[in-house]
A and B are shown apart, each in its own frame.
Chain A
Amino acid sequence: MLSGYVVTVLITIGIYVILALSLNMITGYAGQISLGHAAFMGIGAYTSALLYTRAEFSFWPAFLVAGLVAGAVGAVLAIPCLRVREDFLAITTMGINFVVEATFLYVPFFGAGMGIGGINPPSLFGSEISKPGFLLLVIGVIAAVITVDRWLARSWIGLAWAAIREDEAAAGTMGIDVVRFKVLAFTLGSAGAGLAGSLYAHFLTFIMPVNFGFGQSIVILSMVVFGGIGTLRGPIVGAILLGALPEFSRPAMEYRTLLYGILLLLLMRYQPDGILGERSLLVRGWHALRQQAAPMKN
């Protein structure tokens, strides 16, 4: 059996996978740079924590409401974002993250600097689920997110997002309701982050504003870009590798953050498509290998 430590690390990575996949919908598919994804994770976490500790909700409804609330807030906050484009959007979403974090930190209702504690893990049939059980729950949520992701990518919604991503003006001219599809991307992506936030709150059992700061947003975005933005495999692999990195770099504790910075820098410089993006070395190499192997099959 897996040790408790390994299960803990796997759950953390799994939550990051959900966050990376949900950000990928906004930034990868619809092409809208968001530097504030952790804000929506925080909104989900706080919603779930408040419902659980103050309104006596059990985990399951709190989890669903967390996703709904984060999605709704994402839809509302997408409106100021729609007025601006590209770089203005990046900084506006960054600003939203700072303002949301400040709200958690300064409003007593949200526990201010102390955060919220006493959030228990979910229960099933009257007993609290174990850590491996929680891991299964996280994997189940990942599977659901992947299913939605695949369905969206293959539907007309995915096509409309791709059109907006490649050329917004042209997409608008072709009759695509750009505003509606952008809001949809922010809503779905934020809802995913909210679900992940709820899992995070019930896994850690206490939450603090700093967990949902701008630094966390950068961590999530790095995972998406590291793996390969706009693909399904990219964010998953990025979240697994960067999520596991702290565990493997324990011997180099002192230099861990330095290495992280340099890794991002070098990857963007030499593999801007991420390690598994369409134009990355690995994927091109894989295609080349398959082409070489193809004649042998015949």
Chain B
Amino acid sequence: MIWQQIANGIATGAVYALTTLGLTMVYGVLRVLHVAHAGVYALGAYVGLWAFRFTGNFWIGLVVAMAACALAGVLIERFLYAPLLHLPRIIPLIASIGLFIAMEEAFRIVAGPYALAYDAEVRFGSLALGPLRLTGPQTLILTVTLVLLGLLWLLLSRSKVGLAMRATAMDAEITSSFGVNTRAIIALNFLIGSAMAGAAGALIGVYDNQVWPTMGSVPAYKCLAIVVLGGLGNIPGSVLASFLIGLAETLLIGIVAIPFPRDALAFVAMILVLMFRPYGLLGRA
């Protein structure tokens, strides 16, 4: 029973990690609270579903979803955030909320208000680690997440582009004075982060076997709490916070059965942590 809940928590945490990575990367380079990121996540689920229905192959659906979301992310950066960066923070924030509302409505109008089934049968073995048993879909989510995280880690720590990305997140002005094209690096951050959100959307669509217009509503705000909990702009911090919240939610609700809404838990954790560590778990001033 408890191990089953832990397995659920790990799968939930993996999806949070994929979704929040993009948010934290975007924040790292632009200092924008990218609420519309959750719209990109829902877009990933819809595109993944559509490509799956068209080709009958889950993996093609996943790749197409990631590509579509990468493109959407780059367009959002180019046409929405780039012109607003010199303005007070609240302006891009409201613009992002507006875009998110519009995206949710566009999904409803185009695909209908009801949930669509995403019954891709992915053959993926279940995994047993001692008493911990992960079902096929859970193994799939965890594997894809770990592979993508591994690739991102390699890119950031072992390549010149990764070095430029880290430098841009620290100080874009100084980095550009060293001859780095920071505009391209910022776009790359959006591209990678949005592709990850697209993967998360497609994976959760298959895991829950449904895709619906407002599926991004809860992640839109909960992921912000997770990102802040980990330390805004801090990638390892947001991965850590994702798994912590994923596990805490499933365990507290599943085992202890506290009478509190699951989705408010991340915010309680965030407020408590901020009282003692105002820059999040792994964040620095």
**In the complex, are the beta carbons of B221 and A94 less than 8 A apart?**
yes
Question: What sequence of 0s and 1s flags, for each residue 72-110 of chain B, a beta carbon within 8 Å of any chain A beta carbon?
Answer: 000000001001100101111111011111111110010
Whole-angstrom distance between the alpha carbons of A255 and B104 in the complex? 12
Evaluate whether A257 and B95 lie within 8 angstroms (CB atoms) in the complex, with A92-B271, A99-B267, A102-B261 already known: no
| Residue with the greatest number of chain B CB neighbours at <10 A, chosen from A27, A94, A214 | A94
Cβ-closest chain B residue relative to A84: B278
A128 close to chain B: CB less than 8 A = no
Is A80 within 8 A of B105, CB to CB?
no
A189 CB to nearest chain B CB (Å): 15
Tell me whether A91 and B228 are in contact (CB under 8 A). Answer: yes
Asked whether A95 lies within 8 Å of B271 as measured between CB atoms, the reply is yes
Q: Which of A117-125, A130-138, A261-269 contacts B (4 or more CB under 8 A)?
A: A261-269
- Closest chain-B Cβ to A104's Cβ sits at a distance in Å of 11
A263 to chain B, nearest CB (A): 7
Is B268 in the interface zone, CB < 8 Å from A? Answer: yes
A174 to chain B, nearest CB (A): 21
Give B27 Cβ to nearest chain A Cβ, in Å.
8
Interface of B, secondary structure class, is helix
B31 touches A92 (CB 8 A): no
B142 at the interface (CB under 8 A from A): no
A88-B232, A264-B97, A264-B98 known; A272 vs B84 contact (CB < 8 Å)? yes
Q: Enumerate chain B residues within 8 angstroms of A101, measured Cβ to Cβ.
A: 264
Q: A258 with B106: in contact, given A84-B278, A91-B224, A106-B261 (CB under 8 Å)?
A: yes
Contact check, B102 vs A261: say whether CB atoms are below 8 A apart. Answer: yes
Q: Residue-by-residue, is A65-105 near B (CB-CB < 8 Å gives 1, otherwise 0)? A: 00000000000000010011011101110111011011001
Give CA–CA (A214, B92) in the complex, Å: 18
Indicate whether A275 reaches chain B with its CB closer than 8 angstroms: no
Contact in complex: B267, A98 (CB < 8 Å): yes
Closest A residue, CB atoms, query B91: A272
Q: State the CA gap A27–B89 with chains docked (Å).
A: 12
A95 close to B84 (CB less than 8 A): no
A56 near B: Cβ within 8 Å?
no
Please state if B274 and A88 are interface contacts (CB–CB under 8 Å).
Answer: yes
A263 to B27, CA, bound (A): 24
B84 touches A261 (CB 8 A): no
Given A99-B267, A258-B106, the answer on whether A269 and B84 have CB atoms closer than 8 Å is: yes
Task: Tell me whether B62 is interfacial, beta carbon within 8 Å.
Answer: no
Is B95 a contact partner of A265 (Cβ separation < 8 A)? yes
Task: Please report the C-alpha to C-alpha distance between residue A79 and residue B90 in the assembled complex, in whole angstroms.
Answer: 21
Q: Is A218 an interface residue (CB 8 A)?
A: yes
B270 at the binding interface (Cβ < 8 Å): yes
Which residue from chain B places its CB closest to the CB of A82 in the assembled complex? B278
Residues of A within 8 A of B80 (CB): 265, 269
B222's nearest neighbour on chain A, judged by CB, is A98
- Select from chain A the residue with minimum beta-carbon distance to B262: A102
Q: How far, in angstroms, from A250 to B270 measured CA to CA in the complex?
A: 40
Collect the chain A residues with CB atoms within 8 Å of residue B103's CB.
261
Could you name 9 residue pairs across A and B whose Cβ atoms are closer than 8 Å? A27-B90, A92-B270, A96-B267, A99-B271, A102-B264, A222-B94, A225-B91, A258-B102, A268-B92
Q: Which residues of A are in contact with B by a Cβ distance under 8 Å?
A: 27, 33, 80, 83-84, 86-88, 90-92, 94-96, 98-99, 101-102, 105-106, 214, 218, 221-222, 225, 229, 254-255, 257-258, 260-269, 272
Q: A268-B91, A268-B92 are in contact. List 13 more A-B contacts (CB 8 A).
A: A88-B232, A88-B279, A91-B228, A99-B268, A102-B261, A225-B94, A257-B101, A261-B99, A261-B104, A263-B98, A268-B84, A268-B98, A269-B80
